[in-house]
Structure 1
Amino acid sequence: MRWGHGATAEESASIFNAYAEAGGNFIDTADIYQFGQSEEIVGDLLAGRRERFLLATKYTSGAVPDADRLITGNSRKAMVDSLEASLKRLKTDRIDLFWVHHPDGLTPSEEIVRGLDDLARAGKILYAGLSNFPAWRLSRAVTIAEFTRAVPISAVQFEHSLVRREPEVDLFPPPKRLVSVL
């Protein structure tokens, strides 16, 4: 447990196996989770049954504490380096859904879309998704991918709960207001 808390590999195996036996087949992890250890554990758990699962992982923050700025963010360099490291940790030849974990405030949407398309054309990812991007950035990336015939942005993920309600402002239509007539 590289973060100092969380489930052990044995506990994770028990949870994973119960999930699989109940019919679960979608695994979503990230290079930053437990500084790469989550992907290592998932890679071990998928041994001999990889094709039974849809495997998703994210990149942006790096898989080590205090990751260098050259291996973090959403640049094509960080994207490719992160994917290659994730493939090794997950012990697989492809990622079914590769997420950009969050915007970095620097990398243009064009570079992100082009990088994801290059990875798809190389057969290293099947689908691309954006996580925690504001609606305007999501719309822009979807439009760029559509116009350039790049791999489409197939999935979107937002943190939304009773505590984190920010997506409501950005993504959900405003409530219809009642208008009183005098």
Structure 2
Amino acid sequence: MLHSAYRWTLRTLDDLVSNGKIRYVGFSDVPAWATAEAATIARFRGWAPIVAVQLQYSLLERTSEGELIPMSEALGMGVMPWSPLHRGLLSGKRSDTGRQRTPGGPTPAELAVIDAVIDAVIDAVSAVAEEVGATPAEVALSWVQGRPGVTSTLIGSRTVDQLEANLGTLAVTLSEDQRAALDEVSAPKLNFPAENNRLLAPNLQFAGATVDGRSSAVSPLLHASAARY
């Protein structure tokens, strides 16, 4: 159950919408479980719904695909990614800017692995950029903007030149093959049960049927169970 102060916050937000002080309610950087609970209470009480969530999302930060983005899609919330260029690294930079170098952080060996992953993603982005005649930043932003659930992308431009460069993304179209290449090189390791549900659950749930255009296989577990009985 949400803390009472949390409920009062939702009630206050509803008043602000009703009084025309704000147009919509959105959450930023709130865990999926808390956002879902708040959305359920707001719906139950007839208060202003939560229509959008802001979250960090880029080719170098995709862990929100585990819970936050699926929750947003299921509950009808728009996804508004911030830091889509991951502190500028996806603009093609090769410096250490934006890479973690903090006391108590990853060990040198762990940092070497992290840097290898970052460099592989930057290489892939740069390769696609060369293919489509765009900048790496435009490709990275185009990838984010085309992801499921994303309705608007928050850019961190500090100058007019940066803004105009980012707006060039609107003219960039990535092919399915190019998107697949970027998806593969940046694939995140998600917490349980995300991968289990993606890879195994459909075969248990649908046992070879095609549901919503997605086909499934019969799980070996079901074959083994049928053999026993």
User: Scaled by the length of structure 1, what TM-score is found?
Assistant: 0.49
User: Scaled by the length of structure 2, what TM-score is found?
Assistant: 0.41
**Which structure shows the higher strand fraction?**
1
**Which structure shows the higher helix fraction?**
2
Name which one, 1 or 2, has greater alpha-carbon Rg.
Answer: 2
